[in-house]
Structure formats: structure tokens, C-alpha cells
Structure 1
């Protein structure tokens, strides 16, 4: 072996020994990665909350108030008022009434007027040996409004004579 090769081998061995004895990279790198991951996830959650908060600030939940809330089987009219979370009437909302445990021959719809009310002609029926049932009310908010209907609305109770 030449002198040059021996020097190169010594330098390589010395570098390997220094590298093997240096444990800073082994300890520091995983901790830095964990810190970067935690900071990144926290930042992302704050940004997502801000983005979803922009939409959520202006949304008001709608509810339906049927009059009467309890009806008997057979043909009758039911007035339904659509109100926002502050109790104010909402005009231009579409009210949808469909059978739940009581049945309707057809789904009934109506649009609320300026006073937030709509009148629907319903003909609910109960099954054989069924003493009571319910009709489900859904609300489609006016297009382009800040309203939403995500929670369950008041139901209409149908009770046999």
C-alpha cells in the first residue's frame, strides 16, 4: 500500500470514529421532527378553524313551529311558521312535510310568505292498531341566505280518535 492510500485510509477511519462517537444527530433529529410536526398540526388546525369560522359566523339555525302540533287522522290544514334562532320569521323558506311513523299519501311542500308562515293541506293516516305517529318537517332555507337547517325540527303528532 502506498503512503497516499494509507493517509486516505487513516483519514477515513478517523472520520468514521468521529461520526460514530457523535450522537447529537441521533438525539436531536427526532426531537426536531416531533416539534415541527406538532407546530405544523397546530398551525393547520388554527387555519382550518378560521376558514370554517368564516362560514359559521353568519349561519343561523331554522326551526318549524306547526299549529296545531297534535292532529287527528284525516284531511286538515296545518299552519307552519319558520323562525330563525332569534325567533324572527323567515320568508322564502320551503317547508317539506313527509310521513314518519304516520303516513302521508304524498310529500307536501309550501313556501313561507313575508310573515314566515305557510299553510299545508295534510291527510295523515295511521296503520292498523296504531294509536299515534309523527309527521316529519324539513326546511329548505331561502337560496343565498345565511340560514341552515341541520338539527331536527318539531314534528307533528298524529293521534287516533
Structure 2
């Protein structure tokens, strides 16, 4: 009974609690950061970003064929990816869609148009990764620049 009264009258017990909680929180967040960094290095849990490399990357507002290579982060070609070319600030009559071959290449025929007072515009390139792959296309790809001569 005597011990209970001593704790009951002791108001210092709460003083160290907030700092202990802050220390535990900081240590926990640091540990979580280290674990997440370790997990991001595991290949099976991550996806690889695809990129499109158009050639030529600059064209005029006339009918033209553009070769596009789809590559993974290591620069290796990606087969069976679907390349979609749409109008950005330049316009296209239709959306152009092609599937890459074993070399990761497609050839797309475009006929971009610029507005009456427009000197330049862009065509956007998107990639639909092959089905069942660990690829993604979440970042913006290289745009095709259309320039009036």
C-alpha cells in the first residue's frame, strides 16, 4: 500500500514519456527507410520504365515515316510493346498504333498538321508494355517535334 501512494503522489513519471516516444518514432522511421531501400533493390518487386527513341525526332508538317525503338532502362530492345503516337500541340487525323518487333522497333507513318500561326508543335509517344511483363510507362517519353520550315 505504501508503494502505491508513492507512485500516486509522484508527478515526474510523465516527464520522460514524450521524449521516449519521439526517440522511438525517429528510430522506427529510420528503420523503415532502411528496409524500404533494401526492398527496392529486389528485382521481383519493382517494374522497369520503358522509353521510346524516335528517329527522326524533328520533322516537318508533311507526311513522314518515323522509326521508334522501345528500350528498357538498360538500353535493351523490348519486343511486343505497343507504341501509340497521338497529337500533342500538333494535330494528327488518326491515332497511330504499332507493335514492336524482336528488335524493339516500329515504323509509324504520320502526317502532322500545325495551326495557321503555329511554327512548331509536338506529337506524343506512349508505350503499352507487353502483357505479363514487369515493364511500365509512367514517365513522359521523348516527344516528336514538328517544325514549320
Structure 1 length as normaliser, TM-score?
0.75
Asked if structure 1 preserves the Cα contact closer than 8 Å seen for 2:122 and 2:143, the reply is: yes
1:53-64 maps to which residues of 2 (within 5 A)?
Answer: 53-54=41-42, 59-64=47-52
Measured on the aligned residues, the alpha-carbon RMSD in Å equals: 2.7
> How many angstroms apart in 2 are the aligned matches of 1:80 and 1:98?
14
> How many angstroms apart in 2 are the aligned matches of 1:153 and 1:18?
66
Task: Spell out, residue by residue over 1:7-61, the C-alpha distance to the aligned partner (whole angstroms, 9 max, x if none).
Answer: xxxx89x93x7633x3441222223322333333333334444445436875333
Pick one of 124, 128, 135 that aligns with 2:112.
Answer: 124
Change (3 A) 1:58 1:43: closer
> How many angstroms apart in 1 are the aligned matches of 2:50 and 2:68?
12
Residue 19 (structure 1) aligned with residue 8 (structure 2): yes
Considering fraction of residues, name the structure with more helix: 1
Residue 102 (structure 1) aligned with residue 102 (structure 2): no
Residue 155 (structure 1) aligned with residue 135 (structure 2): no
Q: CA deviation at 1:127?
A: 0.4
Q: CA deviation at 1:118?
A: 0.7
Larger Rg: 1
